[in-house]
């Protein structure tokens, strides 16, 4: 009996000792667990677990329009290179203060003969500005109200605005920190005009409200990410895949461009004036040679975690 009693006693552990052992385990491995959790959180924030992080990415200039008969021509043109809608390696980051891209005027970028245009861009605004230029003709809205256009985030971010000859239509404001495709278009012959916002797999549009016959005489080139030809009203966020046409696109074509995603190619090569993917540079890949000069613009490759194609 005494031997059995000793055996039973030896199997009973002191609860205080067990608690102490657990505390020692936590003290030993707790910091390691915390560090691992922080690292995993940081990687998730940077988008490392986004499957697009591992997807193939388009190199700068990997796809472009080939115009065998020279800039400004529309005969026998086609896409050249790797043009399978891969997401870009880089997008352009604007600081909201003094960054912009200036595209000098050339004969091949003039939209005035057609009397109509469509301007398109993928944007992700970090925070609202009083005004944030997406693309404009380098003079409209501030300094020359007699002609031109501008697609801007205006009125402290309360609307996405399309200006033509200082007249304006607007729609919902862009949602901050969300990738969107935005489009503005106008036809001087009919006055038809609209703004489109595409996000979360849906399109939101403001129908026509501008009069016909507004002048689109344009002799100033373009601003991307700024306005006034000097970077004033700088956009605060990132912009990619800017496209400009000297025609209006129907809703089916615009929807098709959205479904292509941020790495999509232009849909109407014959009427394409400029194509600035902003994938590592400000070059024009429309074949018209309207390259831009970037001022205080950074090209970032850490944008993918925030992109969620619909």
The percentage of residues in the chain with a pLDDT greater than 90, rounded to a whole number, is 39
Q: Determine the pLDDT at residue 30.
A: 63
pLDDT of 45-80, one tens digit each?
555 556 666 677 888 999 999 999 988 888 889 999
pLDDT of 103-118, one tens digit each?
988 878 888 888 899 9
Position 170 pLDDT exceeds 70: yes
Integer Cα distance of 201 and 96 in angstroms: 27
Reduced to 3 states (helix: H, G, I; strand: E, B; else coil), residue 189 is coil
244 pLDDT tier (thresholds 50, 70, 90): very high
Average pLDDT score, the chain: 81
Instruction: Compute the C-alpha angle 146/150/153, nearest 5°.
Output: 135
C-alpha dihedral sign at 119, 170, 164, 99 = negative
Q: For the chain, give every domain's residue range.
A: 2-45, 57-306
Window from 17-31, 157-171, 238-252, 285-299 with minimum mean pLDDT? 17-31
Position 130 pLDDT exceeds 50: yes
| Closest C-alpha among 308, 83, 303 to residue 180 | 308
Position 267 pLDDT exceeds 60: yes
pLDDT of 198-212, one tens digit each?
987 788 888 778 999
The top-scoring range by mean pLDDT among 6-15, 119-128, 216-225 is 119-128
| The listed CATH number (2.60.120.200, 3.40.50.970, 3.40.640.10, 3.40.50.300) that belongs to domain 57-306 | 2.60.120.200
Integer Cα distance of 62 and 120 in angstroms: 20
192 pLDDT tier (thresholds 50, 70, 90): very high
pTM: 0.82
């Amino acid at each position: 009996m005494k031997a059995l009693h000793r055996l039973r006693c030896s199997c009973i552990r002191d609860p205080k000792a067990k608690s102490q052992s657990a505390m020692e385990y936590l003290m030993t491995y707790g910091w390691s667990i915390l560090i691992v959790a922080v690292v995993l959180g940081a990687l998730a924030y940077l988008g490392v677990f986004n499957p697009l992080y591992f997807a193939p990415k388009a190199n700068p200039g990997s796809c472009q329009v080939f115009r065998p008969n020279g800039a400004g021509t529309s005969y026998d043109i086609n896409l050249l290179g790797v043009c399978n809608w891969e997401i870009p390696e880089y997008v352009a980051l604007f600081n909201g203060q003094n960054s912009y891209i200036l595209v000098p005027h050339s004969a091949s970028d003039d939209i005035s003969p057609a009397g109509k245009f469509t301007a398109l861009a993928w944007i992700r605004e970090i925070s609202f500005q009083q005004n944030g230029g997406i693309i404009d003709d380098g003079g409209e809205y501030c300094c020359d109200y007699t002609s031109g256009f501008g697609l801007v985030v205006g009125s402290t971010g309360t609307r996405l605005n399309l200006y033509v000859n200082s007249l304006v239509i607007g729609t919902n404001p862009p949602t901050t920190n969300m990738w969107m495709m935005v489009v503005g278009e106008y036809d001087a012959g009919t006055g038809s005009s609209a703004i489109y916002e595409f996000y979360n797999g849906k399109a939101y549009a403001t129908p026509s409200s501008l009069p016909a016959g507004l002048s689109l005489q344009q002799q100033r080139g373009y601003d991307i990410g700024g306005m006034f030809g000097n970077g004033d009203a700088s956009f605060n966020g990132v912009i990619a895949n800017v496209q400009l046409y000297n025609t209006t696109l129907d809703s089916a074509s615009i929807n098709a461009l959205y479904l292509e995603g941020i790495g999509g190619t232009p849909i109407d090569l014959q009427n394409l004036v400029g194509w600035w993917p902003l994938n590592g540079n400000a070059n024009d890949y429309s074949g018209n040679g309207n390259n831009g000069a970037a001022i205080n613009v950074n090209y970032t490759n850490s944008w993918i975690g925030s992109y969620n194609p619909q």
